[in-house]
Amino acid sequence: MESSSSTTTAIASTSLTAIQNSFDAVYSRYAREALDELPDNFTITDPSIPGHPIVFASQGFLKMTGYDRDEVVGRGGAMFQGERTSRRSVMAVREAVRNERSCQVSLLNYRKDGTPFWMLFHVTPVFGRDSGGVVHFLAVQVPLQGRRRRRRRSIGCRRGSGGDDGGDYVFGCCRKEVCNDNGLEVELVSSMDHGLDHDTRELESDEPCEATDDEKRSAMVAMDNIFSVLTHYSESTGRSVCRKRCSTPDMGLLSTSLIISLGRIKQSFVLANPHLPDMPIVYASDAFLKLTGYAKDEVLGRNCRFLSGPDTDDSTLYQIRESIRNQQPCTVRILNYRKDRSSFWNLLHISPVRDASGKVAYYVGVQIEEEHKNEDRQGLSPEKRQLSVVGVVKVAVRSLSMHAGPSKS
């Protein structure tokens, strides 16, 4: 649900293979066909991929918005928003995603041809039955035909001599106020080419559209039907999903909120959990996967030493182990190996990451290939780039633990 330019860049750089694997790793190959037979408008998104992109879009959704599937898959929900989309509603959805809970709002979105339309937007997490973590988010969209709450406001310059009791007004003569997060944005418009009826319709279209009880029921029925398909076709892959959290999340799983925050970081880095056996990697950035050539499922759950090889210096590995044992940061130059077994010199910085209570929750490792150490558009040194990543990770973890309470580690 992110709408920043950095999110757009993240989505654009996301591998199409990662998008496809996000869906295919959980559901059997017949799931797409079964979902396409449903008449409902819905999308499935993956918060673990930077930008929280769409990994599946139904035929009904594509018809409703006018896009082709290849124009939608791999992109975020911001592509359907426009100047009159309520920032408050978008933030409500964003917070629900971060807190891994359901949310239902009326939302003004835009079709491919630019025409706006109101819809009831219902988003809910899809949980892994065994892991207890969020696998995807399912969003159902029901076009609203209900009555719009109309509030006619007299805006502009008074025309004629109607006196203090009201008189006549020219709508849009000087300006119109546009609803947004804080109600402060003012859009200047000219009334030279606009009549009274046109401006009145414009003002009314900014008001939220109410969903009827039937439309709300339609959203819930669609949810039931879609989850029936998802649960059925996830069983054969061994990664069964459920509508409600069926088990306590594994310690190695990160929250959706933290994953989204980490996904904004463009540098190569990993997060490892020292409270799990063998201190496995629990998060790997897209830049790290690109640098090493590994896929995400080949990295998560493994200790960082899998990057070592026959010519890796043992004394450097000892230095890293000692810094972790003493809970101190360290910077080393180490020979690592990619998946294709080609080697590269890695300028590696490792630092403990503490939660709000001061306990070490994770270790972050930031990698810069020595050959490309000076490739930075902002002119930052490798050391400053690494410290910048560490700082962002620390803020994200500390902020999350402050909201979630003391660390359970």
251 is a domain residue: no
Q: What is the CA radius of gyration of the chain?
A: 25
Token pair, residue 185, equals 């944005």
409 is a domain residue: no
* Same domain, yes or no: 308 and 370: yes
* Same domain, yes or no: 127 and 238: yes
320 is a domain residue: yes
Query: Please, are residues 300 and 280 in contact by the beta-carbon 8 Å criterion?
Result: yes
Terminal-residue alpha carbon distance, the chain? 30
The pLDDT value given to residue 209: 81
Token pair, residue 310, equals 């026959």
Which of 219, 242, 265 lies at the terminal end of a domain, its last residue? 242
The helix (H) or strand (E) run that includes residue 18 is helix 16-24
* Same domain, yes or no: 237 and 385: no
* Same domain, yes or no: 191 and 214: no
**Rounded to an integer, what distance in angstroms lies between the CA atom of residue 294 and that of residue 99?**
30
Q: What is the pLDDT of residues 347-368, one digit of tens each?
A: 999 999 999 889 999 999 999 9
* Same domain, yes or no: 9 and 41: yes
* Same domain, yes or no: 106 and 172: no
The pLDDT value given to residue 368: 96
- Tell which phi-psi region holds residue 272, choosing left (phi > 0), alpha (psi between -120 and 50) or beta: beta
248 is a domain residue: no
**Rounded to an integer, what distance in angstroms lies between the CA atom of residue 76 and that of residue 124?**
16
**Rounded to an integer, what distance in angstroms lies between the CA atom of residue 373 and that of residue 166?**
69
Query: Please, are residues 157 and 146 in contact by the beta-carbon 8 Å criterion?
Result: no
* Same domain, yes or no: 134 and 163: no
- Residue-wise pLDDT tens for the chain (409 aa)? 444 444 444 444 456 778 888 999 999 989 999 999 999 999 999 998 888 999 999 999 999 999 999 999 999 999 999 999 999 999 999 999 999 999 999 999 999 999 999 999 999 999 999 888 999 999 999 999 855 554 444 334 333 334 444 333 232 333 333 333 333 333 323 332 333 344 334 333 456 688 899 999 999 999 999 999 999 999 989 899 999 888 777 667 888 989 989 998 999 999 999 999 999 999 999 999 999 999 888 999 999 999 999 999 999 999 999 999 999 999 999 999 999 999 999 999 999 999 988 999 999 999 999 987 777 767 788 899 999 999 999 999 998 777 654 444 4
Q: What CATH number does the domain containing 235 carry?
A: 3.30.450.20
249 is a domain residue: no
CA-to-CA separations, 307 to 304, 324, 334, 336, 346, in angstroms, rounded: 6, 17, 10, 5, 10
The pLDDT value given to residue 11: 46
Return all residues near 72 (Cβ < 8 A) that are at least 6 apart. Answer: 43, 54, 57, 61, 62, 65, 79
Q: Is the pTM of this model over 0.85?
A: no
* Same domain, yes or no: 199 and 214: no
The pLDDT value given to residue 380: 83
* Same domain, yes or no: 288 and 140: no
* Same domain, yes or no: 36 and 163: no
* Same domain, yes or no: 373 and 270: yes
* Same domain, yes or no: 59 and 99: yes
Token pair, residue 284, equals 């790997």
CA-CA-CA-CA torsion sign (364, 368, 370, 376): negative
Domain count, the chain: 3
221 is a domain residue: yes
247 is a domain residue: no
Eight-state DSSP code of residue 133:
S
What range does the domain containing 179 cover?
156-205
